[in-house]
Amino acid sequence: DWSMSAYRAEMQKKIRDQVGKGRVICGLSGGVDSAVAAVLIHEAIGDQLTCVFVDHGLMRMNEAEEVVRLFRDHYNIPLVHVEAEELFLSELAKCGSDPEAKRKTIGRLFIDVFDAEAAKLGGADFLAQGTLYPDVIESVSFSGGPSVTIKSHHNVGGLPERMKMKLVEPLRELFKDEVRVLGRELGLPEAFVGRHPFPGPGLAIRCPGEITKEKLDILRKADAIYLEEIRKAGLYDVIWQAFAVLLPVRTVGVMGDYRTYDHVCALRAVTSVDGMTADFYPYDMAFLGRTATRIINEVKGINRVVYDVTSKPPGTIEWE
């Protein structure tokens, strides 16, 4: 892609001009955006860059291992893997059910961890993030209306004032489909470039109500089964994003001779071009029935599955 290769060179010059001889740390989330940002920046400034992957305990099943493996095996980019599950879960336990409190806490903890890692490297001048154009606009306005923050995206708003590092955000002008083109241009593996978006706050925003490790573990199992069924049905690449949500609601059911009283799991899947608007995916009922049966049989703690048929707007893609 000619225009993307020109963009790549132009961005790399801008990155070099901005950072000079400074040290940069780049937060990797496991998603496409931060990976593309990291590879682009590494090409531009080499070992002035260190990547930091914060495992906040809010990742999907096996996600942390996959990300670390990709970066260590595929690229020669220095990567620090920070185990921060206890820190994040203990602070989130203090937030109760408030979605904005959860998002702000996660944003603050990310900065604390990045600051601590920067200090270990002898200081860093810049923090790089994979912020995209829709993140920027959705954080300040919605549908061209008045300036209202719908959600505090941790990677745009909510960066504590005290953060001394300056931001490097080379993808700020791009939409998701353009980031994927740039990722291919940079030689990222197709399996990675084609991944569904995954939000920085992770499973915290797919677990409405109070967050506990027990609920996160239940959610991870249901989510893994759901994605496995999507892949088996050959639907992964036609869907923009699909995930399970664990509701803080229990309902009565029956399993064999027993009464159960367990959580409801909601399934979400949407098609979209840029994440700004989205349509729910019209699965056939056989797919939904098969997936629900597997989740209820295989995941202890869930006895009912529902499908979310809300498009965006008026819904958002995530539940919080």
Binding-site annotation, residues for ATP: 29-35
Within 10 angstroms of residue 109's Cβ, the number of other Cβ atoms is 18
Tell me the closest approach of the beta carbon of residue 117 to ligand XMP, in angstroms. Answer: 19
Write the binding mask 142 to 161 for ligand XMP: x where contact by CB under 6 A, - elsewhere: ---------x-xxx------
Annotated binding site: 29-35
Q: Is 318 a residue that touches ligand XMP (CB under 6 A)?
A: yes
Tell me the closest approach of the beta carbon of residue 99 to ligand XMP, in angstroms. Answer: 10
Residue number, 280 or 301, with CB nearest to ligand XMP:
280
Residue 233 neighbours by CB under 8 Å, 6+ apart: 287
Tell me the closest approach of the beta carbon of residue 143 to ligand XMP, in angstroms. Answer: 12
* Positions in 87-126 near ligand XMP (CB under 6 A): none
- Whether the CB-CB separation of 223 and 244 falls below 8 Å is answered with yes
Q: Is 311 a residue that touches ligand XMP (CB under 6 A)?
A: no
Tell me the closest approach of the beta carbon of residue 14 to ligand XMP, in angstroms. Answer: 22
Q: Rounded CA gap, 37 and 170, in Å?
A: 7
- Whether the CB-CB separation of 201 and 31 falls below 8 Å is answered with no
- Whether the CB-CB separation of 307 and 288 falls below 8 Å is answered with yes
Q: Is 197 a residue that touches ligand XMP (CB under 6 A)?
A: yes
Q: Rounded CA gap, 246 and 58, in Å?
A: 13
**Max CA pair span of the chain:** 69
Q: By CB under 6 A, how many residues form the interface with ligand XMP?
A: 14
Residue with tokens 């920070």: 82
Q: 99 φ, ψ to 5°?
A: -60, -40
Cis peptide before 314 (omega within 30 of 0): yes
Residue number, 45 or 270, with CB nearest to ligand XMP:
270
Distances, alpha carbon 188 to alpha carbons 40, 180, 184, 273, in Å = 11, 9, 5, 21
Tell me the closest approach of the beta carbon of residue 104 to ligand XMP, in angstroms. Answer: 11
Residue number, 45 or 168, with CB nearest to ligand XMP:
168
Q: Is 16 a residue that touches ligand XMP (CB under 6 A)?
A: no
**305: closest CA among 263, 269, 258, 259?**
263
Q: Is 56 a residue that touches ligand XMP (CB under 6 A)?
A: no
Residue number, 108 or 294, with CB nearest to ligand XMP:
108
Residue number, 1 or 177, with CB nearest to ligand XMP:
177
* Positions in 172-191 near ligand XMP (CB under 6 A): none
Which one of 79, 275, 283, 305 is in contact with ligand XMP (CB under 6 A)?
275
* Positions in 215-274 near ligand XMP (CB under 6 A): 241
**54: closest CA among 44, 63, 42?**
63
CA 268 to chain CA centroid, nearest Å: 15
Q: Is 199 a residue that touches ligand XMP (CB under 6 A)?
A: yes
Which one of 183, 201, 202, 208 is in contact with ligand XMP (CB under 6 A)?
201
**192: closest CA among 61, 21, 67?**
67
Q: Stretches 40-48, 164-172, 193-201, 286-294: which one binds ligand XMP (CB under 6 A)? A: 193-201
Q: Stretches 12-20, 44-52, 286-294, 309-317: which one binds ligand XMP (CB under 6 A)? A: 309-317
Q: What are the tokens at 261? A: 């009283």
Q: What are the tokens at 259? A: 């009464």
Tell me the closest approach of the beta carbon of residue 168 to ligand XMP, in angstroms. Answer: 16
| DSSP letter string, 152-189 | --TTTS---TT--SEEE-TTTT--HHHHHHHHHHTT--
Give the binding site for ligand XMP (CB under 6 A).
151, 153-155, 197, 199-201, 241, 275, 312, 316-318
